[in-house]
A and B are shown apart, each in its own frame.
Chain A
């Protein structure tokens, strides 16, 4: 039995004419300790997928199973790292993380809780900024706080919803390494949603493309057997990496084209010729 299992899951939004099926017939199995990446176009329903697994929304059809039990709502066992950080702007870093720790470990004393918060903030090298408000932090730092908040509850699964897509390339690379380092410590089950194939290959054990919505379904999976720890620069010369990367990108381009060609509406352009009107005022000349 898989650790996380999605069985024929479908989800629609809206009512009546405006109703669109975002996800249709999704089947996914994730084993314990596995790092799975889902790659897809923007607007293909990636966030919906992660909200379904985290329990923020319920599927219309099908089942989401976690350790064999159907998911009925959010739980501390599944930590979520949101795309837009979602830090509470009126709380500083310590309290943002502390709030999660307090909820997850209700029996802890205040001292133990503080220790835990400080340890986790230390882990992402944010100790100097622990008393700062989110608005005083850069984008990368905010996302690190968000990562810390999710991890400090010691979840069994980490769900990452495009955690790095709003960051610049350099910060992004650093954070990828940091997340991998943390993941490597206890090898928790992780699901990464991303729009970057390279990021997926660098971090995951398995990559599954999500076909573009509406009615998005999962494509064929790609196993990544590259040895860990993976080095970004070394990977560029790795033959297997290049092959894998090319085939995934080729697949994505192919389904992207399919989607484009499915749209049968073509536009008839009217035959218009430009009319050159005389200038309303004559240019004055003083010669």
Chain B
């Protein structure tokens, strides 16, 4: 049981729990204490340090902003106004709070208010669904489209929209880059003939890809009522992120160990078998490294693309909050930042686990 859970944890990349488990079962207490200290307490300590630095930085900025406001009131409207402003700020009134880097506590509050907001919206949705249930049943019987909830999406909804976009983009990248990469890897002629194109397109910024996709998709979807902003953003994400996979796949396929090729020759495998039984399995590690880079790039550019394409998701959430300028907007932006970071980290771990499942490890001897 213990060994099994340790094995699973190591496999999914959560190996830092290992000493804790060993310690609970009373195994080599002294040694495991040291490992636990290294693997768990030091990271927690550094997170704590980060929070302290953040908090003191935020406090400093708050003071600067506060003093500037009082100063301005003094200059513009005189002594009394300055006193009033000071009192107003210190009383914690929302109307006159300095707008600057929020402290960790403020971010935590914003996080909870976002969750509460999500619950409220969920209730509204449920109520709405209940209300239109009979109408929708009738509409369905008549062959009409059901009425949907069109209210404001909650923060959690935005996260799922973003994940949907990034997965659509990732799958697009996968289905374009892997087959083309394999073809390029197999044929030296093909590789050298498109090498320049790849080298030119690879460094192009996500923004430019978005505009290019916009030009094309706008014309193509002229007469349809489909959700073009989703299409634009997922295609742009796919195009931006596929290059790592393309290059890695073609490199992996073209650099298969010569011994394996000799084995294929001696066994007289057909071309198809050679590709699927020798070349692909032996280039899996590189292909997966490419896919991991692709997924993390996709998640990174997604935010920028959503922000520009006005398609729903975390990116537009951040942009709207920035434009909004409400009192807790800054805190919500920071919440979104952490959510983006943590999801990116989890996506990478998931890919790593899948990679461990399907690829072989090199012989150690």
- Give chain A's interface residues, CB within 8 Å of chain B: 54, 56, 73-76, 79-80, 82, 84, 86, 88-90, 99-100, 103-104, 133-135, 138-139, 153
Residue B338 at the chain A interface, CB threshold 8 Å: no
A135 and B361 in contact, given A88-B278, A99-B277 (Cβ under 8 angstroms): yes
A-B residue pairs in contact (CB < 8 Å), sample of 28: A56-B265, A56-B266, A74-B265, A74-B266, A74-B268, A76-B267, A76-B268, A79-B266, A82-B259, A86-B259, A86-B263, A88-B278, A89-B360, A89-B363, A90-B281, A90-B360, A99-B267, A99-B277, A100-B267, A103-B268, A103-B269, A135-B360, A135-B361, A135-B363, A135-B364, A135-B365, A139-B365, A153-B267
Residues from chain A with a CB closer than 8 A to the CB of B364 are: 135
Residue B219 at the chain A interface, CB threshold 8 Å: no
B226-278, CB < 8 A from A:
259-260, 262-263, 265-269, 277-278
In the complex, are the beta carbons of A84 and B361 less than 8 A apart? no
Residues from chain A with a CB closer than 8 A to the CB of B260 are: 86, 88
Q: Min CB distance, A56 to chain B, in Å?
A: 6
In the complex, are the beta carbons of A90 and B266 less than 8 A apart? no
Residues from chain A with a CB closer than 8 A to the CB of B360 are: 89-90, 133, 135
Residues from chain A with a CB closer than 8 A to the CB of B266 are: 54, 56, 74, 79-80
Residues from chain A with a CB closer than 8 A to the CB of B359 are: 90
Q: Min CB distance, B80 to chain A, in Å?
A: 74
Query: Max chain B CB contacts within 10 Å: which of A54, A73, A74?
Result: A74
List 8 extra interface pairs beyond A74-B266, A89-B361, A104-B267, CB under 8 A: A56-B265, A74-B265, A74-B268, A75-B268, A80-B262, A89-B363, A99-B267, A139-B365
Q: Min CB distance, A193 to chain B, in Å?
A: 15
Which chain B residue has the least Cβ–Cβ distance from A100?
B267
Whole-angstrom CA separation of A133 from B360 in the bound complex: 9
The tally of residues in B whose CB lies under 8 Å from a CB in A reads: 21
Query: Max chain B CB contacts within 10 Å: which of A84, A135, A153?
Result: A135
Whole-angstrom CA separation of A82 from B260 in the bound complex: 11
In the complex, are the beta carbons of B259 and A84 less than 8 A apart? yes
Which chain A residue has the least Cβ–Cβ distance from B360?
A90
Query: Max chain A CB contacts within 10 Å: which of B260, B262, B267, B363?
Result: B267
Provide the B341-365 mask, 1 if CB < 8 A to any CB of A, else 0. Answer: 0000000000000000001111111
Which chain A residue has the least Cβ–Cβ distance from B269?
A103
Whole-angstrom CA separation of A103 from B264 in the bound complex: 10
Residues from chain B with a CB closer than 8 A to the CB of A74 are: 265-266, 268
Residue B162 at the chain A interface, CB threshold 8 Å: no
Provide the B315-356 mask, 1 if CB < 8 A to any CB of A, else 0. Answer: 000000000000000000000000000000000000000000
The 9 A-B residue pairs with the shortest CB-CB distance, nearest first, are A90-B360, A86-B259, A90-B281, A135-B363, A103-B267, A89-B360, A74-B265, A74-B266, A80-B266
Which chain B residue has the least Cβ–Cβ distance from A137?
B365
Which chain A residue has the least Cβ–Cβ distance from B362?
A89
Whole-angstrom CA separation of A84 from B361 in the bound complex: 17
Q: Min CB distance, B267 to chain A, in Å?
A: 5
In the complex, are the beta carbons of B363 and A134 less than 8 A apart? yes
One of B262, B268, B284, B361 near A82 (C-beta < 8 A): B262
Whole-angstrom CA separation of A76 from B268 in the bound complex: 7
Residues from chain A with a CB closer than 8 A to the CB of B363 are: 89, 134-135
Whole-angstrom CA separation of A99 from B263 in the bound complex: 10
One of B265, B269, B282 near A90 (C-beta < 8 A): B282
In the complex, are the beta carbons of A56 and B268 less than 8 A apart? no
Whole-angstrom CA separation of A193 from B145 in the bound complex: 77
Whole-angstrom CA separation of A153 from B360 in the bound complex: 26
Q: Min CB distance, A251 to chain B, in Å?
A: 32
Residues from chain B with a CB closer than 8 A to the CB of A104 are: 267
In the complex, are the beta carbons of A56 and B269 less than 8 A apart? no
Q: Min CB distance, A39 to chain B, in Å?
A: 23
Q: Min CB distance, B285 to chain A, in Å?
A: 10
Which chain B residue has the least Cβ–Cβ distance from A90?
B360
Which chain B residue has the least Cβ–Cβ distance from A135?
B363
Which chain B residue has the least Cβ–Cβ distance from A138?
B365
Q: Min CB distance, A129 to chain B, in Å?
A: 15
Q: Min CB distance, A144 to chain B, in Å?
A: 14
Residues from chain A with a CB closer than 8 A to the CB of B269 are: 103
Which chain A residue has the least Cβ–Cβ distance from B361?
A135
Residues from chain A with a CB closer than 8 A to the CB of B263 are: 82, 86, 88
Which chain B residue has the least Cβ–Cβ distance from A155?
B266
Whole-angstrom CA separation of A88 from B360 in the bound complex: 10
Which chain B residue has the least Cβ–Cβ distance from A139?
B365
Which chain B residue has the least Cβ–Cβ distance from A91?
B281
One of A54, A75, A88 near B281 (C-beta < 8 A): A88
In the complex, are the beta carbons of B262 and A86 less than 8 A apart? yes
Whole-angstrom CA separation of A229 from B282 in the bound complex: 42
